[in-house]
Amino acid sequence: MLIALSLLTGAAAQAGGEPEALAPYAGRVVYLDFWASWCGPCAQSFPWLNRMRAQYGDRLNIVAVNVDSDSTAAKAFLQRHPAHFDVLYDPAGALAERYHIDGMPSSVIVDASGHVVHQHSGFFDARSGEYEAAIRKAIDTPATTTTGSPP
């Protein structure tokens, strides 16, 4: 499913607060995948992300965060590489900066308590077992807080 959302809006954007677009994922395990339309490995990662979404269902929220400044390029990419998970647009790079993203693709797993429990740059099919192990670990770890704040 494709959801085009602005990442920072209203008072939260002005105050440097939590991204409102991530609020629906509070208290859940989230796999943030930062990508760009020009990134070859990003195209390779989307089929794997679709499989993870199908395999883990509601236990794992995959959110692909596009950092293209032009959403037209991102939409063309998604026509060629469909996403069966949520997609957010971050043209200003606010969310990418928050998670110290320095390459494409980069992924961050946030546990149900809102803590970053895994982060990696690049996508390597040979390492997908490691990525999935980190997902399983995050899913199997009970939340330690119920503050309700987004990742």
| pLDDT tens column, 9-45 | 332 332 333 456 678 898 999 999 999 999 999 999 9
State residue 114's pLDDT score: 86
CATH superfamily of 26-140: Glutaredoxin (3.40.30.10)
User: Looking at the predicted structure, is the pLDDT value of residue 53 above 90?
Assistant: yes
User: How large is the average pLDDT for residues 107-131?
Assistant: 94
Measured CA to CA, the distance from residue 8 to residue 30 in angstroms comes to: 18
State residue 78's pLDDT score: 95
Domain residue ranges in the chain: 26-140
This prediction's pTM: 0.82
pLDDT tens column, 75-89: 999 999 999 999 999
User: How large is the average pLDDT for residues 115-137?
Assistant: 95
- Count of other CB atoms within 10 angstroms of residue 108: 23
State residue 2's pLDDT score: 34
Q: Is the peptide bond before 41 cis (omega within 30 degrees of 0)?
A: no
User: Looking at the predicted structure, is the pLDDT value of residue 6 above 70?
Assistant: no
- Count of other CB atoms within 10 angstroms of residue 70: 10
Measured CA to CA, the distance from residue 67 to residue 46 in angstroms comes to: 15
